């Protein structure tokens, strides 16, 4: 039986200790999976992946589903998704290729054949008939079908599942290749996450962070505070149902990430005060050490670095005003996507693992913020301490029991 999440509720009485305790039950599966997980030999369980994605949709009868895919990436998943969508009484519209030179005949349907020959504006209009689309691995916002569906979402209709199968980062922030190790961790997270408890934990965190504000510190010297007030808090809890969209307040509320795990929010810009001290990172293609950015009212008012300061200045100057603005706070909650304990350490799925913090710069309009300009820079912190008021929730990159 599929679990339907209730609306966000106001919590009358709960301690922050209870919130954190919930985290450690988020790795027990709340929905059935037919095969026992085998961690010794990795293989893609295509049928179970397709089943889990359709479970996440919680389709209502007759909902129209479109797949957006790149040929050669996860092709075995496509016919299985079709079968599970139809089993759930959804209407399968077909699979549209993001590669204009390669559109497999087996993917084509009357809906996708017409769409592939459409102008961008016509594509947006046609996609208004789509209730939910799955963005499969290899697709991105630079692809016309992907971008067209985002325009539909901005208009307040529909939802998408982002099934990127990417987002593995080195601790320095550089993007890593997806290996079988990454595959294994991602697939296990999809199968074994307890989505109900993850959603409860994120709802509790939102309630308390609105009451108390957030402070983030790191051993390198980060010490920054901000308030959320009435800003949207996007909870990536794996719920891709139509019910979720009733509470959507921004673009990313309609874009559901699988695997799940993070909350994301653009704080009230004027409340962002303090400094961010970076680990060794890359700016404008150069290694930078000892970088510290100082913020007042959400804007960078000072910067210093041991080495590479000119590279930072060059990147921010090229970005324009957005480069000097605080973008978002994100915090991972999924223990199955936490920093692996073996070496070399790396960051799974865009920092969605328990205890990983993102303090980002740039455009935050997709989160409901006021900073435009297009530039976005994600900055990962794996040893941060996060406090709500005087209560520590994350200490040195670890969620507390």
Note whether 341 and 354 are within 8 A (CB): no
Give the lowest-confidence range in 112-121, 257-266, 288-297, 367-376.
112-121
**117 — pLDDT class (breaks 50, 70, 90):** confident
Note whether 11 and 204 are within 8 A (CB): yes
**172 — pLDDT class (breaks 50, 70, 90):** confident
Domain boundaries in the chain?
Answer: 37-190, 196-399
Integer angstrom CA distances of residue 315 from 285, 310, 323, 353: 9, 9, 8, 28
Span 33-47, average pLDDT: 66
Span 253-274, average pLDDT: 98
Query: Which pLDDT value is given to residue 342?
Result: 85
Average pLDDT value over all residues in the chain: 90
Q: Is 340 left (phi over 0), alpha (psi -120 to 50) or beta?
A: beta
Per-residue pLDDT reduced to its tens digit, 352-401:
999 999 999 999 999 999 999 999 999 999 999 999 999 999 999 998 85
How many CA atoms, within 13 angstroms, populate the side-chain half-sphere of residue 63? Answer: 23
185: closest CA among 336, 331, 303? 336
Query: Which pLDDT value is given to residue 28?
Result: 45
Architecture of the CATH domain 37-190 = 3-Layer(aba) Sandwich (3.40)
Beta bridge mates, 3: none
201: closest CA among 24, 81, 392, 368? 24
State how far the Cα of 316 lies from the Cα of 380, in Å rounded to an integer: 18
Residue 123 has pLDDT above 50, yes or no: yes
């Amino acid at each position: 039986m599929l679990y339907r999440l209730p609306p966000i509720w106001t919590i009358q009485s709960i301690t922050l200790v209870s919130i954190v305790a919930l985290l450690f039950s988020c790795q027990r599966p709340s929905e059935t999976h037919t095969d026992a997980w085998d961690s010794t030999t990795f293989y893609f369980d295509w049928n179970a992946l397709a089943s889990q994605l359709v479970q996440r949709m919680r389709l209502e009868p007759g909902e129209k589903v479109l797949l957006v895919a790149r040929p050669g990436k996860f092709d075995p998943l496509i016919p299985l998704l079709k079968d599970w969508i139809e089993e759930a009484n959804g209407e399968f519209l077909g699979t549209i290729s993001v590669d204009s030179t390669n559109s497999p005949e087996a993917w084509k349907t009357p809906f996708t054949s017409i769409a592939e020959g459409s102008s961008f504006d016509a594509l947006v209009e046609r996609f208004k008939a789509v209730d939910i689309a799955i963005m499969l691995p290899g697709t991105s916002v630079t692809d016309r079908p992907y971008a067209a569906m985002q325009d539909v979402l901005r208009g307040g209709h529909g939802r998408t599942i982002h099934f990127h199968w990417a987002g593995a980062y080195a601790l320095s922030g550089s993007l890593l290749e997806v290996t079988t190790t990454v595959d294994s961790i991602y697939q296990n997270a999809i199968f074994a996450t307890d989505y109900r408890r993850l959603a409860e934990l994120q709802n509790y965190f939102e309630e308390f962070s609105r009451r108390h504000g957030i402070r983030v510190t790191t051993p390198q010297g980060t010490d920054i505070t901000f308030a959320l007030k009435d800003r949207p808090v996007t909870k990536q809890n794996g719920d891709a149902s139509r019910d979720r969209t009733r509470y959507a307040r921004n673009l990313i509320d309609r874009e559901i990430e699988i695997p799940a795990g993070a909350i994301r929010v653009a704080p009230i810009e004027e409340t962002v005060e303090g400094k961010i001290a970076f680990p060794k990172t890359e700016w404008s293609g150069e290694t930078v050490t000892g970088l510290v950015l100082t913020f007042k009212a959400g804007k960078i008012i000072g910067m210093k670095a041991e080495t590479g300061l000119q590279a930072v200045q060059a990147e921010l100057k090229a970005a324009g005003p957005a480069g000097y603005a605080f973008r978002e706070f994100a915090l991972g909650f999924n223990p199955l996507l936490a920093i692996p304990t073996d070496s070399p350490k790396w960051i799974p799925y865009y920092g969605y693992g328990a205890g990983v913090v993102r303090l980002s710069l740039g455009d935050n309009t997709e989160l409901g913020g006021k900073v435009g300009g297009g530039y976005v820079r994600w900055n990962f912190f794996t040893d941060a301490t996060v406090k709500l008021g005087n209560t520590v929730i994350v200490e040195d990159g670890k969620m507390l029991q």
